[in-house]
Structure 1
Amino acid sequence: MVGAGIGGAAAAVGLERAGWQVTVLERAPELGEVGAGISVWPSTVKALGELGVTGVEKAAVVSAPAGMRRSDGRWVVKASALGVELPVMIHRAQLHDLITSRFGSGVTVRTGVTVDGFEDGAVLVGGEELRADLVVAADGLRSVVRGALYPEYGGPRYSGYTAYRGIADVELADGGGETWGRGRRFGFARLIDGRYYWYATENRPAGAENADVWTGFGEWHDPIPRLLKATETVLQNDIYDLVLPLVPFVRGNVVLLGDAAHAMTPNLGRGACTAIEDAAALPRHLGNLAAYDAERRPAATKLVRVSRAIGRVGQLDSRVPCGVRDGVLTVGGKLAGVLGRKREMGESRV
């Protein structure tokens, strides 16, 4: 196993449960995750259950309004009108701990190990060649193993925007959601531990000097300024996904998993979720790895494509296109509200 992030750790759990001895190679000096919040959708909660990972559950029902707003705070659509189940929000480190706590004696973790390449079926670590019956590459967006298998592949593609993320320890009477402006978006949600995770996106050239998040969002509607003020550390990362079409997830005895296979923009909140679902699927196809590729690559391709499209619409920065976008969303929100009320009335009559 190359990589011990959320996807790699989940795959290690799944393979051990299937009776395999697993060696995990992790570049970081110690096991753990960094970052902020993460969405865990119902299908992923089910996948975690298949892996024996529990503890991802809602601490309380969100009673305050949540949904999409404009930068002045006016509602575009409330989540309650859409009739969709919202994800569980959890800190990445907490989710990673829940997964790695399921490691048993069949999992060996080697930290501080940098994989230099992959050649003739062997993982290269310094002067050492490591061979295994199965190599799972969960080594992220800039996967060394993927690069060795598919040197002609285009790899990462810059989205055109950067992201800021943080955790705020603050009390709010707000259910969260997203606010769309011109070339900027801001979203926030309550974590299961009671804190708030927030994220913001801004159109910027790749590698541009870090900007103060207050410059773009400090004057947006409440509670955005309060969230920023209550945040101690702000993370900033340029957003990349992988070029389409995605390469095959299987070659010989090598399997690509997580961002190494299908890194996507965060607009659907499905990146880590998809990695966990990869991990849950892999043990079902150990006797026929081609079936893993057949199941996971089409599903991941769709998510990469849809997430990219949402980002393009959300990051529009010209006045007229943004006006058209907001108008369409507002009309759609009102229609969703009407349909939602009709649905509730129909259910109440049953």
Structure 2
Amino acid sequence: MQIVIVGAGIGGFITALSLEAAGFRDIVVAERSREIRGLGVGLNLLPHAVRELTELGVADRIAELGVEPGTLAYFNRHGQAIWSEPRGRDAGYAWPQLSVHRGRLQILLRDLVEERLGDVIRLGHSLVALEPGDAERRAVATFEVAGGERVELAGDLVVAADGIHSVARSLRYPEEGGPRWGGLTLWRGTALIEPFLDGRTMIMAGDAEQKFVAYPLGAPLEDGRIRVNFIAERRGGGVSGADWNRQVERAPIAELFADWRFDWLDVPATIAGAEELLEYPMVDRDAIPQWTFGRTTLLGDAAHAMYPNGSNGGSQATLDARTLAYHVALAGTAAGVPAALAAYEADRRPATARLLELTRQTGPERVMQLAFERAPEGFADVHDAISAAELEGIAAEYKRAAGFHPSELAARPSLGVRRSADASAASLRDSGAA
């Protein structure tokens, strides 16, 4: 079976690794950039994603890049604690939560793809057309390469993991327009600071108007400091385009948080000390009614870009990749791909649509907004404003929607499956469809 993956980001690479683990090797990954530079800042891989990466045999290498947070804690803009909960193995999961640098993760995944599949990555390939194929005909992806030449890649399966600005999606939904701005501007960066709290806590402070997030990206350095990833967020800003690499000056952004000096973390000093500061709008995309057309489908941000509330983008792309590979492996042959894609979409599209709704309602971060609405000047006891049951209910609802409620995750069957030798041979015979 011939497979084409459009996009060499986290979702595209994990899709390639998942399909290889399921027994498929005739895979090409086509990427529009001319080099993979490993850009970005931090991300979190939640236990349901780390379970999948563990079954792929890559979690240990990813864990070497980052750190396991043990606690997630929410605070108001005065630095008062609202809610905290253990995370990963500290919460009893069999799998950790991992905080890693997005760029370093992308480079590692690239290396793993090359180790397992060889020279399958095609750089400088910009998707310009996509013929979906049908039960009898392969899909055909057309790319523009250097010099304006056009190259066609045919596949029994074409997976479009080409991000929030997905060309594949725009070809199917030409009237959709660009990503939807939620009215907030984000500033993301990394900084070396003294450890805060217990050194393993991911914190979120603020409310729907202004927020600060920080978490460690590694163990303490020789001088005792830790590298943290942070996100500063404020309503407004007027940024129009989602350019993830737009650098800005630190001082004006630090000044926006001038009063956020807590006895456990100096927020403006962290921003002012950023190694670099990137600005972009808080954007997502509306849920769409269909991902799959013929032998093509969408995956990751191309299918369901959502706000980072809940730290779930990379994890959901991982679940997409593993679910897709599972159904394709069960189908076994090129003839079974349309049915496999229908099963993949049935599993993943409703779940991600629900999660997108929750992220627009600030997801588990809703506890901060409730504290702001009910006690804007702070509180002596948070339970005077929000009951323990309400706090626990918000956290549990999001875990269920995202797929990592502890009991449900432990009970879910594995998504790992490998085709038999007979199925592999049948697939090769069947791939003669033109």
- TM-score normalised by the chain length of structure 2: 0.68
Letter in 1 for 2:236: R
Higher relative contact order (CA 8 A, sep 6+): 1
Note the C-alpha offset of 1:153: 4.1
**Partners in 2 of 1:325 and 1:252 — Cα distance?**
56
1:225 and 2:225 matched = no
Q: Which residue of 2 aligns with 1:26?
A: 31
Task: Give the secondary-structure state (helix, strand or coil) at the position aligned to 2:121.
Answer: strand
Find 2:206's aligned residue among 180, 183, 201. 180
298-307 or 23-32: bigger deviation: 23-32
Tell whether the 8 Å contact from 1:185 to 1:315 is kept in structure 2 after alignment: no
Q: Deviations over 1:220-269 (max 9, x none)?
A: 1233133223312011111211113x232221100100000000000011
**Partners in 1 of 2:67 and 2:268 — Cα distance?**
25
1:252 and 2:333 matched = no
Task: Give the secondary-structure state (helix, strand or coil) at the position aligned to 2:193.
Answer: coil
Q: Which residue of 2 aligns with 1:294?
A: 346
Closer/same/farther in 2, CA of residues 98 and 320 from structure 1, 3 Å limit: closer
Q: How many residues matched?
A: 334
Note the C-alpha offset of 1:334: 6.1
Note the C-alpha offset of 1:46: 0.7
Tell whether the 8 Å contact from 1:57 to 1:192 is kept in structure 2 after alignment: no
Please show how residues 2-13 of structure 1 align to structure 2 within 5 Å. Answer: 2-13=6-17
1:310 and 2:362 matched = yes
Q: Which residue of 2 aligns with 1:343?
A: none
Letter in 2 for 1:236: E
Q: Which residue of 2 aligns with 1:44?
A: 49
Note the C-alpha offset of 1:296: 0.9
**Cα RMSD between the aligned structures?**
3.3
Letter in 2 for 1:218: A
**Partners in 2 of 1:257 and 1:9 — Cα distance?**
11
225-234 or 100-109: bigger deviation: 100-109
29-38 or 274-283: bigger deviation: 29-38
28-37 or 255-264: bigger deviation: 28-37
Tell whether the 8 Å contact from 1:161 to 1:201 is kept in structure 2 after alignment: yes
**Partners in 1 of 2:188 and 2:372 — Cα distance?**
29
1:196 and 2:214 matched = no
Q: Which residue of 2 aligns with 1:239?
A: 282
Find 2:160's aligned residue among 104, 118, 137. 137
Tell whether the 8 Å contact from 2:254 to 2:269 is kept in structure 1 after alignment: no
**Partners in 1 of 2:308 and 2:319 — Cα distance?**
16
Task: Give the secondary-structure state (helix, strand or coil) at the position aligned to 2:164.
Answer: coil
Note the C-alpha offset of 1:143: 0.8
Closer/same/farther in 2, CA of residues 291 and 268 from structure 1, 3 Å limit: same
Closer/same/farther in 2, CA of residues 108 and 193 from structure 1, 3 Å limit: farther
Note the C-alpha offset of 1:337: 11
Find 1:214's aligned residue among 244, 249, 254. 254
Closer/same/farther in 2, CA of residues 253 and 326 from structure 1, 3 Å limit: farther
Gaps of 5+ in 1: 340-350
Letter in 1 for 2:19: L
Tell whether the 8 Å contact from 1:3 to 1:137 is kept in structure 2 after alignment: yes
Q: Which residue of 2 aligns with 1:279?
A: 321
301-310 or 198-207: bigger deviation: 198-207
Gaps of 5+ in 2: 133-138, 145-149, 221-226, 242-247, 332-339, 393-434
- TM-score normalised by the chain length of structure 1: 0.83
**Partners in 1 of 2:311 and 2:391 — Cα distance?**
27
Identity of aligned residues (%): 30
Please show how residues 337-348 of structure 1 align to structure 2 within 5 Å. Answer: none
Q: Which residue of 2 aligns with 1:159?
A: 182
**Partners in 2 of 1:72 and 1:320 — Cα distance?**
10
Note the C-alpha offset of 1:129: 2.6
Q: Which residue of 2 aligns with 1:345?
A: none
Tell whether the 8 Å contact from 2:43 to 2:100 is kept in structure 1 after alignment: yes
Note the C-alpha offset of 1:219: 2.9
Q: Which residue of 2 aligns with 1:125?
A: 143
Tell whether the 8 Å contact from 2:67 to 2:100 is kept in structure 1 after alignment: no
Letter in 1 for 2:106: H
**Partners in 1 of 2:97 and 2:257 — Cα distance?**
25
1:98 and 2:102 matched = no
**Partners in 1 of 2:26 and 2:37 — Cα distance?**
21
Closer/same/farther in 2, CA of residues 219 and 44 from structure 1, 3 Å limit: same
1:335 and 2:361 matched = no
Q: Deviations over 1:153-180 (max 9, x none)?
A: 4662111111111111222132341111
Letter in 1 for 2:271: L
